[in-house]
Structure 1
Amino acid sequence: MTREERLLAAVIDAVDTLVDDFDLIDFLHTLCDRCTELLDVSAVGVMLEDPSGKLQLIAASDEHTRLLELFALQHDEGPCVECHRSGTLRLNIDLTCPVETSPFPVFAARAREVGFVVTHALPMRLRAKVIGALNLFDPRPQTLSAADVRVAQALADVATIAILQHRTVAHANQQRAQMRAALISRVVIEQAKGILAERWNTGVDDAFDALRRHARSHQLGLTQLCRQIIDGHLDTDTIPRP
């Protein structure tokens, strides 16, 4: 395939986040593969922030890169960490240059030990929201061309949109599931209230108050208690009458 066709394939991969069985880890490992195919680099790592805002390594193109990225997180330094904090890209960093690596000397030393001499970090950002960083490494002392920079940022942007879309869909599905569970619980509670009100010849409000008090005093969920009553697993005579 041509470079344009491979880039289009990467975009299609991102569109697949709309399906129900989307696998985020597999998607990000595919992103690493796309980067090494499309860009003149040897290794790739992807870091994303967790719900607390802390960076986590999610995918890497090989084991050496994975361990290097974990080292960066452990020491809280490196171009990727700075890129995530600032939301700005860092390109053509010479890992053998003390001046360029002065903000992260420990990381630079470990990267050289692995065999890398140049690195790049691109923000995974949508407008003002930065969710992580895409990190590129190479053992050859060469710079990233302007065309490669555009492709790399395009890949990072597409991945960011895909991830945020996936999170939105997942959140919406969670909210729908919670609403369905709430509606089901409401029906169960109404049924249990009716059972008690009929057996006690009392109002449903009094029956509901009795249910809530019994559930709390026995550290039971209200829905759980009501299900036991409906299923006949609980003797309602054990519930104090209002």
Structure 2
Amino acid sequence: MTEGREREVINAFVAMSNELVDDYDVVDVLAQLTDYCAELLDISAAGLLLADGRGVLHLAASTSDRMHHLEMFQLQRDEGPCLDCFHDGQQVLVPDLAEAEERWPQFSAAAGDAGFRSVHAVPMLLTGNVLGALGLFGDQPGALDADDLALAQALLHVASVAIVNDRSATDRATVNSQLQKALTSRITVEQAKGVIAYAGDLSMDDAFAVLRRYARDHGIKLSVTASRVVDRDLKYELLIQHARAAAVLP
């Protein structure tokens, strides 16, 4: 590992660990997880699926709208590497998606259409429970080395602690409750993104950047900011103006 990359890895763990000290927002932590994976690993996009109390997977975080659509396709078709990873609790490594057409015909075609050529799925584990699966997608065929996979798993461990938020509260009922809370917050964030994107004629990626920047700069939880936008207690114009002043938008 080069000195520059080692510093980036350290900074990522420091940032995520610092989030857990204060009254953090789980949705923002999960978004950080996928962002750091895309920045630090030899991939182009990442998406995290979490299971609710019934074992049904939902999209919890993604690095882009392109990733969002593919993960949703995977869930709707009930086919793909992240689903297999979740059900088996094991990594699913596919250096070349062209070789997985028989295994996941619909998913492989959709991934190819989206420009992805490789995928590696890593399970989110906590005391024997599989909470979800992290999908790591590349634009070119190629395997992730052992260091990258270990780093992805370590980042997932930090995120799993963030979800439970009490290291002693690892029983399944408590985990399910915390997972449901995170998933509900994610739905609110998606609604707020839609409001901002439609009103400001923005992409969903830009809308999320607007929402996240306002929340961080004002010290407000991402989910709380989203809820205020959805409830119209916070005008979307203020968020867009703030984003432009902060050079998040042109």
Runs of 4+ aligned residues of structure 1 deviating over 6 Å after TM superposition are none
Letter in 2 for 1:40: D
* Mapped contact 1:14–1:162 kept (Cα < 8 A): no
Alpha-carbon distance in structure 2 between the residues aligned to 1:103 and 1:91 = 13
Q: Which one scores higher on RCO, CA 8 angstroms, separation ≥ 6?
A: 2
* Mapped contact 1:18–1:166 kept (Cα < 8 A): no
Q: What do you get for the CA RMSD once the two structures are aligned? A: 2.2
> Aligned to 2:144, what secondary structure does the other structure show?
coil
Given the alignment of the two structures, is residue 17 of structure 1 paired with residue 15 of structure 2, yes or no?
A: no
1:9-88 → structure 2 map (5 Å cutoff): 9-15=11-17, 16-20=19-23, 22-88=24-90
Cα distance, 1:137 vs structure 2: 0.5
Alpha-carbon distance in structure 1 between the residues aligned to 2:79 and 2:134 = 15
Specify whether residues 80 and 166 from structure 1 end up closer, same or farther in structure 2 by C-alpha distance, changes over 3 A only.
farther
Q: Deviations over 1:69-103 (max 9, x none)?
A: 00000011100011011100011342111xx3423
* Mapped contact 1:124–1:156 kept (Cα < 8 A): yes
* Mapped contact 1:95–1:119 kept (Cα < 8 A): yes
* Equivalent position of 1:115 in the other structure: 115
* Equivalent position of 1:128 in the other structure: 128
* Mapped contact 1:18–1:165 kept (Cα < 8 A): no
Cα distance, 1:5 vs structure 2: 2.8
* Equivalent position of 2:202 in the other structure: none
Q: Deviations over 1:187-215 (max 9, x none)?
A: xxxxxxxxxxxxxxxxxxxxxxxxxxxxx
Letter in 1 for 2:4: T
1:1-242 → structure 2 map (5 Å cutoff): 2-15=4-17, 16-20=19-23, 22-97=24-99, 100-165=100-165, 168=169
Cα distance, 1:24 vs structure 2: 1.4
> Aligned to 1:149, what secondary structure does the other structure show?
helix
Alpha-carbon distance in structure 1 between the residues aligned to 2:78 and 2:115 = 21
Aligned residues: 168
Instruction: With the length of structure 1 as denominator, give the TM-score of the two structures.
Output: 0.64
The unaligned stretches of length 5 or more in structure 2 are 178-250
> Aligned to 2:142, what secondary structure does the other structure show?
coil
Letter in 1 for 2:6: E
* Equivalent position of 2:217 in the other structure: none
Cα distance, 1:166 vs structure 2: 6.0
Cα distance, 1:9 vs structure 2: 2.9
Specify whether residues 107 and 160 from structure 1 end up closer, same or farther in structure 2 by C-alpha distance, changes over 3 A only.
same
Alpha-carbon distance in structure 2 between the residues aligned to 1:23 and 1:83 = 26
* Mapped contact 2:95–2:141 kept (Cα < 8 A): no
The unaligned stretches of length 5 or more in structure 1 are 175-242
